[in-house]
Amino acid sequence: MLPLLLAAVSILTAAAASAHHPHPLDPLSPAELTAVRAAVLASPLVPARPLTFHYVGLDEPDKADVLSYAYGNSTSSSRSALPRRAFVVARAGGQSHELRVDVTDAAAPSVLAHAVHRGAGFPTLTLDEQFAAVALPPAHPPFVESVRRRGVDMADVLCAVFPVGWFGGDLPGEERRVVKLLCFVAGATANFYARPLEGVTLVVDLDRMAIVGYRDRVLLPVPKAEGTDYRAGKAGPPYAGRAPAPGTVVQPEGRGFDIDGHFVRWANWEFHVGFDVRAGTVISLASIHDADAGARRRVLYRGFVSEVFVPYMDPVEEWYYRTFLDAGEYGLGLWAFPLQPGADCPANAAYLDGYYAGQDGKPVENKNMICVFERYAGDVAWRHTEAGITEVRPDVSLVVRMVVSCGNYDYTGLGVQDQRLHQIHGVSDRPPGGEGDGLHARGPDHGGRARHAGGGEHPRRLPRPLRHVPPGPRRRRHQQLLRQEHHRHQAQRGRHAEEELLDGAPGGGRDRGGRAGGRERRAGRPAGRQPQQADPDGQRGRVPGRPGRRDGGVGAGRRRLPAEARQLLQEAGAGDAVQQGGEVGARAVRRPEHRRRRPGRLEREGQGDTERGHRAVVHGGHPPHPVPG
């Protein structure tokens, strides 16, 4: 009996341990951050003190291992967990250290690798060192004198840290980690950025935490506070006015999505939501379910904001270096603030917390850092009415949101920290297996497909604008496709023009039933159009006294027919008109058989004008293109 009990306990323990294994792409937990700090501080590889942590993030496993873990055939209970590792950037002894720490067993972490960064650039600014730097100016006598000269109260002065940038080469002092401080006047307004102390610059050495440079270049008046406040109730016209009525989103049956740990499942979508102190929100392993194929189609392996570049491009001394890299220098996740329910996110939103390592390495909790909600904008995604049947499908999208307030910039727009997914009611008929397969929705099946020369079917795609294609072989190939598309349209226009015969020419004014004016009606012109009068001298449309110029009137831009074409028209019965003026037959002649245009590649492959494939992009107006894994 005792062996059976021991076996049962061991099975339950193993099951509980496997159930608590984090996903390979889950952000580091508070326990793992604590283990990282302990391992780094105990390592003899970085003996210098003080030691400050500037970045602690997940050291991702190899992509192949993650895909095997996520989409392998093994069940979640039987698959083995991948190693958990952290990447650390720390500053100690005037050097930038990079370490990799194994936290698979948080109770026994270990440093796997260590290197000293000796290239250009420095670690991300921490909050603690920024607060310490901006506290220095009020105690600096030259700065106090500059404030007095401008007639400003020191209690109203606020300062901010600005990176100095890097302009290439090995300049003196580049080995020092310095920043510049610019100061502003708040007073009666919250918009202190509109009231700068122009001309005053302070330079701070962050390792020494001391002012090492100061200059008061020019004395300029401080702008007034009136009319600069942006807060509700204080902003003047045209921003003041009647506020919109409050609204709320009601879902009687509850939310339409599920959150399991860091995985979100909604409609036919499934994806992983992570957090990084530098990049902010991270979307991984996004896929859609193809019910016909019975498999998931991978759309995106890992997506996040790589950088936000804000160059001011002003050569003035206090402005030339303002070329901000908000993700790398400040950290989007570091400057993400708690979301306000009912304002930043609607009432039906669910929230995720985030954790990052502070300057001392200890975990810091940020509540309500990310919200997930369904957006109902009142738009129609699809509708149709016919034969007494009406079906309307509302446009619903899923939003994953984080708000970043970096200085005087707030990022909450699409493409930065607002990721949106749309429902897909059908998927393309491409075989599954690679990223990008699920990016396209199936179009209506009404003969809109093109035959391939090999006998199969594939949707016909129009080439993207050339400006969207980078230089290289793909750009040359796109140039060829654009030329072919241009020639195809020209050929189509030429065929239509050749078929427009003048009234009076054999068969020109009658349709298949023998009725006059048939072609004119089909071409959108009134029936019974009269033929143009002949121009014996060939001067129709010419400006008097200026040979070779046309005035854009009737017949402008036409050429006289060559002798061979006039001969053909004479044989066809239109000889009198040609003899009187060659331009009359310019649109009546059919190109001789031996001089007709050769069919293009698209026509030889059966991709004619009437057979066009149809494939729509799920979201956005650009033609389909693969998304990198």
Catalytic machinery residues: 326, 409
> Residue 427 — φ and ψ, nearest 5°?
-120, 165
**Can you read off the two tokens belonging to residue 597?**
């245009």
Strand-pair partners of 302: 284
Confirm if 96 and 122 have CB atoms less than 8 A apart: yes
Q: Tokens 């306000």: give the residue.
A: 340
3-class SS of residue 294: coil
Confirm if 52 and 95 have CB atoms less than 8 A apart: no
**Can you read off the two tokens belonging to residue 263?**
């995985």
3-class SS of residue 324: strand
Q: Tokens 């901010």: give the residue.
A: 160
Exposed / middle / buried, residue 429 (Cβ in 10 Å: 0-12, 13-18, 19+): middle
3-class SS of residue 600: coil
Nearest-angstrom CA–CA distance, 603 and 488: 8
Q: Is the dihedral of CA 278, 280, 283, 284 positive or negative?
A: positive
Nearest-angstrom CA–CA distance, 2 and 8: 10
Q: Which of these, 61, 56, 60, 14, lies nearest to 35 by C-alpha position?
A: 56
3-class SS of residue 181: strand
Q: Which of these, 322, 356, 334, lies nearest to 279 by C-alpha position?
A: 334
Q: Tokens 């293109």: give the residue.
A: 625
Nearest-angstrom CA–CA distance, 46 and 99: 10
Cα-trace Rg, the chain = 35
Q: Within a 13 Å sphere around the CA of 173, how many CA atoms are in the beta-carbon half?
A: 11
The torsion defined by the Cα of 426, 432, 433 and 439, in degrees rounded to 10, comes to -30
CB atoms under 10 Å from CB of 491, counted, come to 16
Confirm if 176 and 209 have CB atoms less than 8 A apart: no
Nearest-angstrom CA–CA distance, 289 and 297: 6
Q: Determine the residue type at 56.
A: V
Nearest-angstrom CA–CA distance, 363 and 366: 10
The torsion defined by the Cα of 192, 193, 197 and 200, in degrees rounded to 10, comes to 140
Q: Which helix or strand (DSSP H or E) is residue 482 part of?
A: helix 473-498
Nearest-angstrom CA–CA distance, 342 and 331: 26
Q: Which helix or strand (DSSP H or E) is residue 13 part of?
A: helix 2-19
Nearest-angstrom CA–CA distance, 120 and 268: 45
Which residues, 6 or more positions from 464, have their beta carbon under 8 angstroms from its beta carbon? 478, 622, 623, 625
Q: Is the dihedral of CA 100, 106, 109, 112 positive or negative?
A: negative
